[in-house]
Amino acid sequence: MQETEGVIKYHLHHNPALANLEWDIAPINTWRTLLFQLQLIGQQANRYMGYGYGNISQRMTGEKFIISGTQTGGIAELSAQHYCLVNKATLSDNSLYSTGPCQPSSEALTHASVYAQDPGIHCVIHVHSPEIWQSTQALRLAHTEQGIAYGTPEMAHAVGKLFASGQLDPLPLFTMPGHEDGVIAFGQNFPDAAFAMINTLASAKQLEFNRVNIDELAIGRASITE
C-alpha cells in the first residue's frame, strides 16, 4: 500500500501567529530554492499522488528550529509566511509544539530527532530523490530499517540508532527505505548538508549512467552475433 505523502502523523499543537519578520531566512531560502530547481523539493502531478514533497529546517536556539510549512513543496521561492517555528518536540509521545503562519512539515518530528542527536547540527534537509534512494545498497549509504514510516516515534528511534552506530560519521546523510525516495542530510551549515546531498546525487547518477551504458553495450553485442 502506497504511503500518502504530506500527512501529519504526530500530535501537533500549533499556535497560529503572524510571520516573524526578524528571522533571517535568506540562507535557508537560498538553499531551499536551489534544491527546488534540482527537483529534490517540489510538487509534480505524477509523483506521490500530486502532493508536495521535501522540506528544510534551521536550528534557532536550543531545541527550537524553523522549518518550511506543510505542502509548500510546489512553491518556487518561499517567504516568511511559509516558515514556522517548532518550539518543542516530545519524541516519546509523538508530540510537536509550533507557532507561526503555517503548520510545520509532516516530517518535522524527524527533523527534531536529528537535532536532538548533536547540538552542533544547525540544519536539516529532507528531499525525495529516486536516484539516491534506489542506490542505497550500491553506494553503501546509511539507512533506517525497512518499513519505518516518516514522522513517527519509530523513525525518531531509528535516527538515534544510526547516530549511535557511527554510520553517519563519514557522510551526514541517510535514506529511509520505508519512506519512498526519502533522503535526509544534515550539517553544521547549509553548504555542508547540501553538498553531501548533491555529491551523493552525482554518484547515484553516475551509477545509473554506467548501468545504461553496460545495457546498451550488451544489446549491441547481441545484435552483432544474431
Q: List the domain boundaries for the chain.
A: 11-225
What pLDDT score does 6 carry? 53
Domain 11-225 = CATH 3.40.50.1820: no
Mean pLDDT of 114-123: 97
Helix (H, G, I), strand (E, B) or coil at 120: coil
pLDDT category at 108 given cuts 50, 70, 90 is very high
In 129-225, which ranges are continuous DSSP H helix? 130-134, 153-165, 190-225
What pLDDT score does 3 carry? 52
The vertex-207 CA angle with 196 and 200, nearest 5°, equals: 5
Q: Is the pLDDT of residue 92 over 50?
A: yes
Long-range contacts of 81-84 (CB under 8 A, 24+ apart): 81/19, 83/19, 83/23, 83/25, 83/28, 84/14
Mean pLDDT of 47-63: 93
Amino acid at 90: T
Give every CB contact of residue 205 below 8 A, 6+ residues apart in sequence.
131
What pLDDT score does 150 carry? 80
Residue 9 CA to its chain's centroid (Å): 16
C-alpha cell of residue 214: 553496460
What pLDDT score does 213 carry? 58
Cα–Cα distance for residue pair 28/167, rounded to 1 Å: 26
DSSP state of 108: H
Mean pLDDT of 149-175: 91
What pLDDT score does 218 carry? 45
Model-wide pTM > 0.85: yes
